[in-house]
Amino acid sequence: MKQKLIFATNNQGKINEIRQILGENRFEILSLKDIDIKIAIDENGSTFEENAVIKAKAIMELTGEMVLADDSGFEVDYLNKEPGIYSARYLGEDTPYEVKNEDILKRCKDAGKGERAARFVCAIACAFPAGNIMTTVGVVEGELAEKPAGEFGFGYDPIFYMPDKGCTTAQMRPEDKNIISHRGIALRRMVEKLNEILDCE
């Protein structure tokens, strides 16, 4: 029997990515939409990790189930690590990412080659019905692209360039991106911990 695993998001792109990364051999991965939960959670933490914990605890308390939540974002050193924890809300939650990406590129138009360091960060929290919390973090380093490129991925992928791959993460096929992505790293670390716990039960 599969272990039910609620992931506290309504972002279908994110859920698809999570299902591809984790597979569904051991876990039945459900989104908030799948369990018909609509809730606005005040993500008032000051770090990715704090926000992930806030979301996971809120949904765990509503459902009584084990819940995973992530908080992830894009950091650009030239912009003092903006948009950071405000990545999803940058220029407004409903603003298309094409607009967000163009705005970031415009703000960084004077950044030199050595000033375009950027990264994706993902923190994942697991809230258990017993009240304990477990977290993992994944980071992938790269740089801000000169212009958007690629049709895969979502969010800031078109402007995140990985020099060692010679492309943006939006130019990578999902199965290739998931191997090296910040979310993939954090998720695999979390699953290792969960498997250890479940195997001991």
Locate the domains of the chain by residue range: 3-200
Q: Six-digit token pair at 95? A: 């603003």
Alpha-carbon gap, residue 142 to 169, rounded angstroms: 10
Write down the pLDDT at residue 21. 79
Which member of 36, 42, 70, 71 is catalytic? 71
Can you give the pLDDT at residue 201? 62
pTM score: 0.89
Q: How far is CA 168 from CA 1, 155, 175, in A?
A: 39, 12, 14
- Would you call 77 a catalytic residue per the annotation? no
pLDDT of res. 20: 82
**Residue 166 vs residues 89, 95, 151: alpha-carbon distances, Å:** 29, 29, 15
Q: Enumerate residue ranges in the chain where pLDDT < 70.
A: 24-25, 201
Per the document, the length of the chain is 201
Report the SS3 class of residue 18.
helix
Determine the Cα–Cα distance for residues 22 and 41; give it in Å rounded to an integer. 25
pLDDT at 134: 97
CATH class, 3-200 region = alpha beta
pLDDT in the model for residue 2? 80
Give the C-alpha separation, 154 to 150, whole Å. Answer: 10
What pLDDT is stored for residue 13 in this prediction? 77
Q: What is the CA radius of gyration of the chain?
A: 17
